[in-house]
Amino acid sequence: MSPGILGKKIGMTQVFRADGQVVPVTVLKAGPCVVVQRKTPAVDGYDAVQLGLMEYVKKSRINKPETGHLKKSSAEGVKFLREFRLGDGSNGDLKPGDRVLADEFKPNEKVDVIGISKGRGFAGVVKRHHFRGSDATHGSMFHRAPGSIGASSFPSRVFPGMRMGGRMGTDRVTVRNLEIVQVDVEDNVILVKGAVPGPNGGYVILRRSKQ
């Protein structure tokens, strides 16, 4: 049994449960994946499995060292690779070349979904840090400015971590304990309850929740 699977976010929709309850879900194209490498404590110092998402990728998009790495497990054309740590000697049956499909996951199972959040570009403190802003009347001329960022005479510098305007988004975000609502084995599609980070078409990692 694989500790997780790789995929892509397709979009959001809603489904109806047997009792008529409407559930918002995110549709994820999960797999098919291939085991590219199995790392062991004796050789690598830790126990992990490296999975690759099987999809069409031009050969020119993969460099020569990566191509040689993929040939060892007959996984040519795999571009998106991620590792899953294994604990206590579990999942010892996984070996290079094995396939990991969506049928390894069942409804009502809990998973953690990891993705890269949407990039918002440069954003001010009101949007980025939810500052309230100042008065917009009586000629304040200080509507969305951040205010003081530090004293002048001492310490005469801006402390690290000061909340200011800057690049917003494109962060690695983990949403924990999402419920699997449906699994489409034929199309390798998994529907999870709620929203997951990233844009449509973005890569995601599904990891079994530890609970």
DSSP string, 156-168: -SPPTT---SEEE
Write down the domain spans for the chain.
4-118+171-208, 120-168
Write out pLDDT tens, residues 155-210: 899 999 999 999 999 999 999 999 999 888 888 899 999 999 999 999 999 998 88
Write out pLDDT tens, residues 69-89: 877 777 777 888 898 888 765
Spatial distance between the Cα atoms of 190 and 103, rounded to a whole number of angstroms: 9
- pLDDT value of position 164: 94
The CATH class, in words, for 4-118+171-208 is mainly beta
Average pLDDT over residues 152-156: 91
Average pLDDT over residues 133-161: 90
The DSSP element (H or E) to which 61 belongs, if any, is: none
